[in-house]
Every structure is written in structure tokens, then in C-alpha cells.
Amino acid sequence: MKLQDCLGTRIRRLRQDRHWSQQELSMRAGISTPHISSIERNKRQPSLEYAKRMADALGVPLTALSDDSKDLRTPKLKRSPEEWPLSMQNFILNEEAEPYLEAAQQLSNLPKQESDFVSLIIELLTQKYKYNSRSM
């Protein structure tokens, strides 16, 4: 399979792994839905700018769109984003959440042992905060 044929297929798979419609990716990337459809069907090749927008929207590096040697599928979620509490959905869409989402993305790129260590630190800090706030 040629690189240009892989690109659309890879974008589609990454989008579907997130349980997003083409319209959802369209809104997040600022690209028309018909254009995304054409790219996913390998009828049209995205410009570098559009490829970057889609990669950013999908939360993967630009190279991930063409490098099939890495499995960048999103881990299976216990619930689809539509089932998340409204407060969580609103938080994710809020600009103030961006640093946390970027940190989560970086965390997902770490080796498992390091990722587990960072998660443990976060859990301990959260417990410390809860304990200290009860003491006040």
C-alpha cells in the first residue's frame, strides 16, 4: 500500500478509535466534513497544514499519520465521551483544560513503567490534597 493510501486509512482509524464522527473531526480540525471524507477515502491528499490540523485534533504527532509501525490507537474507554458527565465534557472543552490535556497526551507517550510512576505521584498528591482540605 502506498503512503498516500495509508494516510486516509490511518486518519479514519484514529478518528474511529476516538468514537468521533467525521463531523466531530471536522469541527475540531477546522476542515470541512466533505474534505475529511475525501481524505479518508484516499480520494484527496491533505495539505501539510490540513494534516497538521488533523493530527493536532486527534492528539497525535504529525508523523503518526504516516507511520503505521506505531500503534497509536486510543486505549478503549470504559464509557464513550458522550456518556461522560456534563461537567467533564465542559472541562475538556474549556481552554483552561489545555495544559492538563497536553500533560495527559505526554503521559500517554511515556513507557508504561514511567507512566505508572507519574500516575502514582498524581494519586498521592490528590490524596494529600483531600486529607489537608478535610483538616482545615
The torsion defined by the Cα of 13, 60, 126 and 87, in degrees rounded to 10, comes to -60
Burial of 78 (0-12, 13-18, 19+ CB in 10 A): exposed
- pLDDT of 99 reads 84
Mean pLDDT of 82-99: 79
How far is C-alpha 23 from the geometric centre of its chain's CA atoms? Answer: 16
Domains and CATH numbers, the chain: 1-72 (1.10.260.40), 85-136 (no CATH)
Q: Roughly what angle, to the nearest 10 degrees, separates helices 3-17 and 48-58?
A: 30
Three-state SS for 80? coil
pLDDT tens per residue, range 4-62? 557 888 899 999 988 999 999 999 999 999 999 999 999 998 888 999 999 989 988 88
How much is the mean pLDDT over the chain?
81
The model's pTM: 0.50
